[in-house]
Structures are given as C-alpha cells and as structure tokens.
Chain A
C-alpha cells in the first residue's frame, strides 16, 4: 500500500502585545458507542424515546442491582482501537469514579482509569493543504454516559431523564499534539470519519454522540519542541480544559479565545490557573466552571462488582480481520490505482458510502473519468436535492452504464449529462434509454457533412470570416450540433470543419 506523505503543518502563532505565542492542544473525545443496549444493562440506547423509558433497574441504581458487561460494546471499543492502530490491552479493568449528581444514579460512573482497554495509537490529521499532523492517542477507555438533568420545566424543581444513563461511551484521549484550532477540528472530524467507517460511533455531534473536552495551553516558540524531546510537561504552559464541546466551529472559536485570554494574563505578568471552563458561543468567551480548589476528588477505585476484563488475542485478531479498509488506506489506493488527485481521493473517501460507491463504479473503468462523474455530476445533483449518497436514485451500475457509453463514443459528454438527468429523475438502463430515445452520437461523417454543407451554403459571409479567422470555426461546430440535436461526434465535426474551411 502506498503511504501518504505530508509536510507537517506550522503551529498556529498568535502575536501577543509583547511576543509570539504558540498553541498546544489536547483533546478528550467522548464517542457514544453504536450498540443496541447499554454498557451494563439490556436497556435500549435508542435516541428520542419517552423520558425514563429506556431504564433498567441497574441504570437507575436500584438497591442490589449489578452491572453485567455488554460484550458488543467491548468489541466496538476494540474495533475502534484497531482502527486507530492502537495497542489493545488483553486485560483491562473497570473503576468507579465517585461523585454525586442526580443524573448519575449510582453516585459513581463506571469507567476505566487504571487499566483502559486500548493503549497508544495514532491518527493522521490532514488539513487539506498538503499538510497533515500525526496526533498520538494516549488511550481509549470505556465508560458510562450520565443521564440528563432538566432544569427548565419547573421554577422549583429539576427533573432527571435516565434514558442516556449507562449508554457506552469511548473516551479517546489524545496527547497534546494538536497545534491549531483548525487541527483540532480536523482531528475530531478524522476520528469521526474512522469511527463511521468502523461502524463504532455514528458521530452525530448535534445529538451529543460525539463531543470533546479541549485542553488548551500556550507556550513560547521552541518550548513545545523541548517538551517533545524531553517528555517534560514543565516546558508547556498551564492548561485549561474547555468542557463538552459538540461543534467543530465552536471548538475552533473556543480555542482561539481561550488562547488569547491566557496570553493576555501571561503578558500582564499573571499566571494561568488550571481549571475547567465552559465556552459561551453567544458572548464568544470561556468562563470558569470549576477551579482547581473546587475540583472533585473522584475517589477512583476498582469496581468490585466487575471482574477484570480479559479478552483473547484470537478474538482481537478476528475483529482485526473483519475491519473494513480504513480512510487512509482507501485514499492511498484511490490515488495509486486510479490516478486520482489527493483532493478527489479525499472527497471520495470522506465517508465510507461514497468510497464504496466510487469503488463499485470505478471497477474496470477509467478512474479519473469515474471520479469526475461521481464528484461533479452525482454529488452535485444530490446536493441540489439535499440528499446524501445513500439516497442516490442512480445506482453504481447505472452510473457505470452512462460512463461506458461515453467511453465507447456512443454518446458525447454533453448528451451524457442529459442522459444522467434522465436516469436520475426517471431511472432505467442508460444503454436502453440512449437506444430508445435516439441519443446515440452520430459518427457517420456523411450525415455530418451533409449538415455542414447546408450550413456553409446558407452562411457565405460567415465562411469568409472564418477562413480569415480560424477561431470562428466554433460557430460552425455549434450550428452542426444544433442541426444534429447534439448527437454529432464533436471530433468528427471539428475535423470536417477544418477541412472545409481551409
């Protein structure tokens, strides 16, 4: 497989009043695992159900209830780890993170602090300008989601909906390798892309199925490199964690304003306090949520209700063997096998459905031509209808049929667009449509010549002008096309005109 090679992007530099600053960003991404049942109960994970209808006794932490792990969630976490080229820990364990909150019914969240299921991995984050950042993943652990507290239904009371309580999340923890707001956005989108390929998280950010805590600090140029050389975090600035972001736009805004806030403090001779902050998109500022002094003591300890999680290497190997081709590999293959540009390959591999569609059409056909048709015609048309590729009325076989007719000179590119529109709106077999509606390209030079002769005879003045200025030959091409209903083979028309007007 061809390896994609990229230049490293330059870190974002913010010019302060006194000097330049660089950004250092690490992210904790919470991805809801795609599964029918919760991590430790059989209750449904379906979104949008009646409040408190998807709640098993254990989800409500009723006395004496015990968690039993959902094996499918483990499989999904392993699959995600493998997709991020990460180390899979055959022994992991669950810990309790203790804190009181009404949407956390047991008073603790079951998580994996000490022994996560997935260890170190790496994600290549392309920025679309020929640069890409490899971001190291420190770990992925499984944990329970919380329920939802509702404070706006009653002036006196708060309500709790436990439907989401106990749904399996994967927390994907990066190293502080992200160096700009754009990289942060691209990182979470790349994770989303990979997880969608894997089918492990639907990545729906609006519904909170993918959200991030973003750790931001600033440092002077050169300091980051010293951190990377030594591993000593002392070279970096104090970080603040911006909690619970579920929009790439807000992530970028929040990083930018948080960095500028920290720079202003530092340049004024102050110190950044390590704390948890929230982003207010309306005011465009971050605000303290919890200072270090107020930080919870979570009193983590191994959950005695659950034995250590032991998985077999063989099982991991089976999962590995069943992984789909991942975006980076797919993209490299599209570039190598089909001669696509990096850009086209990126567009086509953005989601697995598009990539599979392209693969199906391109099989045995010209890759570049196929890419043009898929990206420009099909995607363009779908976009007009606000549809995605899964809703395409044109099947890969149908689009392939259109492309075959172009390749065999049966129809011109222009007619092909008309044909595509017919197939898109009415359906049918492209070859049959061409036949039935007489859309076949005229390559019979006799018929073209007759049409041309007629035009020459009717327009002597144009003929004279064209003889002086060969650029005017195009007018004759247009006239012939008009006369033949666009079916004349453009190459044959051009040749005949050149001959007749010379």
Chain B
C-alpha cells in the first residue's frame, strides 16, 4: 500500500486492526517521507531505529489482539517534550545535546497507548514565537505556498514543526504545546486541526516550561476525529503535576456524533478587530452559517475585556518565563560558555545565557524581569493578573448565560512569508495571537479547524472555544463544523 503516511490516525488504526497494513509499514512510509522532506526542516531529531523497534512491538501486540488505542500509529513529538535518551533541547542552543533521563508524562502516555515516535519536531525556541523563526535549528517551512509565488511561508509557531510535519504527511499526527496559541495558530496556517485542552487536562511534567500557568499540551492532527483519539491518550491526572486536574477522561471519539442541534454558539463582537481582512470576516461568517445550518443557535455575545488580553499576556507569560528560564545557567546541564581567565560566576552566567538564548528569548526574559521588579510589580504583573481574572469572568458569564461554545477566527490572517516580519515591531508578531491568547488566560479548551482557503490558496482556520473540561462537547461541535466545511485541500508537493 502506498502513501500510508497520508493517512490520519483513525483510518490507519482501522487498517491496522483489519490487518491490512502493519505499524512497520506505516512507520517506514513516514520515515521515507521525512527523509524526503529535509527542505521543510520539520523533524530536527530523527529516531528511526527507535521508531521501528516500537513499530515491531506494536505489530506484535496488534497480532495478539492486545492493541491499546494508538497502537502502531507513527507520530512526531515537539522538541519541548523531554524524551528519555533522545535529544530534547526546546529548539534552544542552551540545551544543545541535552538528553533527559526521563520521559514527559504526555509522551509516556502516548507511548503507553502504543504510538510510535518518529522523532522530534522543530519549534520556536522555548515555544516563544508565532512563526518558528526563533528556532536554534533554523526556520521550519510550511509545505503550503501561495498560488502566485514561491515565497517560503511560516507554518506558524511555536509548534511550527508539528504543523508542517502533519500538513506534509510526514507523520500521522504530532504533539504540540500551546501557551498563547502555539497549537491553534500553526494548525490554522497549515490546514490542520489543533486543540489546546483545558488547563490542567494534560500533565506538564517533563515538558520544558515556558509560562507555567498558561502552558498546555495538545494534539495536532489531520482531522477532528484524530484529535479526539490522540487527546484522550495524552490527557489525564498526573500526581507529578500539582496543577493537573483529577478528573476522569471521557471517550472523546465516542462523543463525535455531529449532532449540535440546539447548541448555543456565541459570536463575540470584540473579536471583530479593526483592519481584519475581509477574507477572515467572510470565513467567520461562513463558519457561523455552517453551524447554524447544522442546527445550532447563533448568539451575539460580548467579552468586554478582550482588548486587554494581549498586553496582560505579554506581562504574565514573560514574567513566568524569566523565572522558568533562570535554571539555564550553565551549571548543571546544557551549554556553558568557555570562560576567560579571571572570569567568575557572574561572567559564566552572562556569557552562557548570552550565547545560549536567541534574541526573542532574551527579549522576553528581560521584559519578564522588568515587570516583576520592585516598584513595577503592581503596575504590571499584579494588574495583568487582575485583567486575567476579568477575562476569565467574561467567559464564565457567557457560559453561565447558556452559551455552549464560542466561534472566532483562529488568526487575523493567513500564513505570512518567512522573514516578512523581520523588520516589524515585535508587537506586530504578537498580534498573531490576538484571538487565541484569551483562551490561555482563561484556561479554556480551544480548537482550530480548517474551514477555507484565502484568495492565494492558503488555508484558514476557525477557532471554537469550549467550557472548561468540556473537550468532548467542543470536539463534537468542531466535528460538525469540519463536516460542514468539508476542507480537503492539501499542499501541492514542492519539497
């Protein structure tokens, strides 16, 4: 069977169970696709031997009728996840060569569910970025191109490698992490599905921390069904993460009925931002109509504190990051600068961190340090926390009023060209996350579903935001939207 790598999780699973293919075949198909896709710079550490070993073990289990949910399905893992004995450097030079002695809870659970890791995926350094341009491995490149030029495009970020790999069929699915939109924005840019679950659904243990109160892992897949399958394997209570929720994990796939009759879908007026491209407005209107046709009630809602989300996020996230990244000091692991005679500990810190961290990481560490400083703490950090509480309350109020899910665009535009933002104010880049950041601040689940193409043939996505812990319902609404949208476009292969 050819093109096995083009399958999604559900289809491949069904073929495996019917004995029509093997995990080794699937894995080999993906490994060849990866080998042929060096130009995308998606997979930055490949683990073919390990993958084939796990694929063979999966085949044994499949043959024995003892196959767990994701048995034999080849996936990619974002470099932010610590994977035992395999390079895990969060796309940063400061962790160059770091091979952890431990496996993150999420990647372990995927492994326990039988998934086969193909390697590690490119990303923005420490997940800080929206274009995968801050990676120490170099840019990940989108498999998509505009219909009228060959400009290399961003796959989005920070989970850019994951999005590129899934869109280009280098793997069946991939893990991502999302602190301000890092799953949903790249999913939207690459015509894939990405869900950030409720904060606390997935254990953060073993995932290199960016902003601890916002970070969540989630799947990036080729369909909503695949997202349901993979999320179920990834999430669940973990005593090793104090912020992990001790809640049962439902069978998400079984909840995909496509029936959303009577569901109340909120359309937040504050998300109609100035200068939003007409294409995005149209996409949003079309999506609204699709849900309406499927039987949902459409309700105009207000989330009044939305406009404060971006500044609040860019205080809170850097503040936490400045502290989380203090451990990269050259003392115990990772990069240590070579020192000159007479250099002391201060020089070691300064040189190590100056050499090891890229510009965007340094910027955020400095911003974070500043906003936490004596005299500025109340004006920035504390105020941002208050804003966060208000944003959370905005959502609580609309859910309390009976809204089941909220529909917004995922991004304010289609993917942009790599380098196009180089001369822009960093805030221009941060604006990419304007629709996704509120969801992280409120700790809610959010999913991006591809629903259309722009005039130049690039994919666009819509975001659905759900109630806390209600991923099952959210996935079902997304499934209905996916069915209506019938998005089937794939990038034309150029790599």
- Given that A96-B323, A98-B323 are contacting pairs, would A301 and B349 also be in contact in the complex, using a CB cutoff of 8 Å? no
**In the assembly, what is the distance between CA of A107 and CA of B331, in Å?**
11
Q: Check A68 against B207 for contact (C-beta < 8 Å).
A: no
**In the assembly, what is the distance between CA of A57 and CA of B209, in Å?**
14
Instruction: Verify if B239 is at the interface (C-beta below 8 Å from A).
Output: yes
Instruction: Verify if A108 is at the interface (C-beta below 8 Å from B).
Output: yes
- Mostly, the A contact residues are loop
Instruction: Verify if B223 is at the interface (C-beta below 8 Å from A).
Output: no
Q: Which of B104, B326, B349 contacts A106 (CB 8 A)?
A: B326
User: Chain A, 36-71, contact with B by CB distance < 8 Å: what is the 0/1 string?
Assistant: 000000000000000000000100111111111100
CB distance from A311 to the nearest CB of B (A): 15
- Given that A107-B329, A297-B374, A299-B369 are contacting pairs, would A307 and B323 also be in contact in the complex, using a CB cutoff of 8 Å? no
Closest chain B residue to A96, Cβ basis: B323
- Given that A98-B326, A107-B329, A299-B323 are contacting pairs, would A306 and B242 also be in contact in the complex, using a CB cutoff of 8 Å? yes
Instruction: Verify if A475 is at the interface (C-beta below 8 Å from B).
Output: no
**In the assembly, what is the distance between CA of A102 and CA of B88, in Å?**
23
CB distance from B45 to the nearest CB of A (A): 15
Instruction: Verify if B285 is at the interface (C-beta below 8 Å from A).
Output: no
Q: Which of A96, A297, A305 contacts B373 (CB 8 A)?
A: A297
**In the assembly, what is the distance between CA of A95 and CA of B381, in Å?**
14
Instruction: Verify if B90 is at the interface (C-beta below 8 Å from A).
Output: yes
CB distance from B383 to the nearest CB of A (A): 13
User: Chain B, 367-382, contact with A by CB distance < 8 Å: what is the 0/1 string?
Assistant: 0010011100100010
CB distance from A58 to the nearest CB of B (A): 9
**In the assembly, what is the distance between CA of A275 and CA of B189, in Å?**
55
Q: Check A69 against B242 for contact (C-beta < 8 Å).
A: yes
User: Chain B, 90-115, contact with A by CB distance < 8 Å: what is the 0/1 string?
Assistant: 10000100101110100000000000
Interface set, chain B 144-176, CB cutoff 8 A to A: none
Instruction: Verify if B461 is at the interface (C-beta below 8 Å from A).
Output: no
CB distance from A470 to the nearest CB of B (A): 85
| Chain B residues near A158 (CB-CB < 8 A) | 345
Q: Which of A105, A297, A304 contacts B332 (CB 8 A)?
A: A105
**In the assembly, what is the distance between CA of A105 and CA of B324, in Å?**
11
CB distance from A146 to the nearest CB of B (A): 13
**In the assembly, what is the distance between CA of A105 and CA of B331, in Å?**
8
| Chain A residues near B480 (CB-CB < 8 A) | none
CB distance from A274 to the nearest CB of B (A): 15
- Given that A305-B212, A305-B242 are contacting pairs, would A61 and B327 also be in contact in the complex, using a CB cutoff of 8 Å? yes
Instruction: Verify if A223 is at the interface (C-beta below 8 Å from B).
Output: no
Interface set, chain B 198-225, CB cutoff 8 A to A: 204-209, 211-213
| Chain B residues near A304 (CB-CB < 8 A) | 211-213, 243, 320
- Given that A64-B104, A66-B242, A68-B242 are contacting pairs, would A301 and B381 also be in contact in the complex, using a CB cutoff of 8 Å? yes
**In the assembly, what is the distance between CA of A248 and CA of B196, in Å?**
56
Among A160, A304, A306, max chain B CB count under 10 A is at A304
| Chain B residues near A61 (CB-CB < 8 A) | 327, 332
| Chain A residues near B95 (CB-CB < 8 A) | 63
CB distance from B185 to the nearest CB of A (A): 22
Instruction: Verify if A315 is at the interface (C-beta below 8 Å from B).
Output: no
Closest chain A residue to B203, Cβ basis: A66
Q: Which of B205, B211, B325, B369 contacts A66 (CB 8 A)?
A: B205
CB distance from B170 to the nearest CB of A (A): 25
Q: Which of A57, A66, A105, A106 contacts B101 (CB 8 A)?
A: A57
Instruction: Verify if B361 is at the interface (C-beta below 8 Å from A).
Output: no
CB distance from A396 to the nearest CB of B (A): 45
**In the assembly, what is the distance between CA of A158 and CA of B348, in Å?**
12
Q: Check B208 against A64 for contact (C-beta < 8 Å).
A: yes
Q: Check B90 against A63 for contact (C-beta < 8 Å).
A: yes
Among A61, A64, A158, max chain B CB count under 10 A is at A64
| Chain B residues near A233 (CB-CB < 8 A) | none
Interface set, chain B 236-258, CB cutoff 8 A to A: 239-243
Among B88, B102, B331, B373, max chain A CB count under 10 A is at B331
CB distance from B377 to the nearest CB of A (A): 7
A interface residues, how many (CB within 8 angstroms): 30
Q: Which of A64, A108, A160 contacts B206 (CB 8 A)?
A: A64
| Chain A residues near B209 (CB-CB < 8 A) | 63-64, 305
Interface set, chain B 305-334, CB cutoff 8 A to A: 319-320, 322-323, 325-327, 329, 331-333
Instruction: Verify if A100 is at the interface (C-beta below 8 Å from B).
Output: yes
Instruction: Verify if B82 is at the interface (C-beta below 8 Å from A).
Output: yes
Q: Check A66 against B204 for contact (C-beta < 8 Å).
A: yes
Q: Check B372 against A65 for contact (C-beta < 8 Å).
A: no
User: Chain A, 89-107, contact with B by CB distance < 8 Å: what is the 0/1 string?
Assistant: 0000000101011100111
| Chain A residues near B377 (CB-CB < 8 A) | 299-301
**In the assembly, what is the distance between CA of A63 and CA of B373, in Å?**
24
Q: Check A67 against B101 for contact (C-beta < 8 Å).
A: no
Q: Check A307 against B243 for contact (C-beta < 8 Å).
A: yes
Q: Which of B104, B204, B208, B326 contacts A100 (CB 8 A)?
A: B326
**In the assembly, what is the distance between CA of A108 and CA of B374, in Å?**
16
User: Chain A, 446-490, contact with B by CB distance < 8 Å: what is the 0/1 string?
Assistant: 000000000000000000000000000000000000000000000
Q: Check B242 against A108 for contact (C-beta < 8 Å).
A: no
Closest chain A residue to B101, Cβ basis: A57
| Chain A residues near B320 (CB-CB < 8 A) | 301, 304
Q: Which of B100, B240, B345 contacts A63 (CB 8 A)?
A: B100
CB distance from B90 to the nearest CB of A (A): 7
| Chain B residues near A96 (CB-CB < 8 A) | 323
| Chain A residues near B349 (CB-CB < 8 A) | 100
**In the assembly, what is the distance between CA of A105 and CA of B334, in Å?**
13
Q: Which of A64, A105, A299 contacts B205 (CB 8 A)?
A: A64
| Chain A residues near B104 (CB-CB < 8 A) | 64
**In the assembly, what is the distance between CA of A370 and CA of B37, in Å?**
90
| Chain A residues near B326 (CB-CB < 8 A) | 98, 100, 106-108
**In the assembly, what is the distance between CA of A64 and CA of B103, in Å?**
10
**In the assembly, what is the distance between CA of A299 and CA of B367, in Å?**
12
Q: Check B242 against A100 for contact (C-beta < 8 Å).
A: no
| Chain A residues near B206 (CB-CB < 8 A) | 64-65
| Chain A residues near B239 (CB-CB < 8 A) | 68
**In the assembly, what is the distance between CA of A102 and CA of B330, in Å?**
9
Q: Which residues of A contact B (CB under 8 A)?
A: 57, 60-69, 96, 98, 100-102, 105-108, 158, 160, 297, 299-301, 304-307
- Can you list 12 A-B contacts (CB < 8 A)? A61-B332, A64-B81, A64-B104, A64-B205, A65-B102, A101-B345, A102-B345, A107-B327, A107-B329, A160-B331, A304-B213, A307-B242
Further pairs besides A63-B88, A299-B323, A301-B372: 5, Cβ < 8 Å: A61-B332, A63-B98, A299-B374, A301-B319, A301-B381
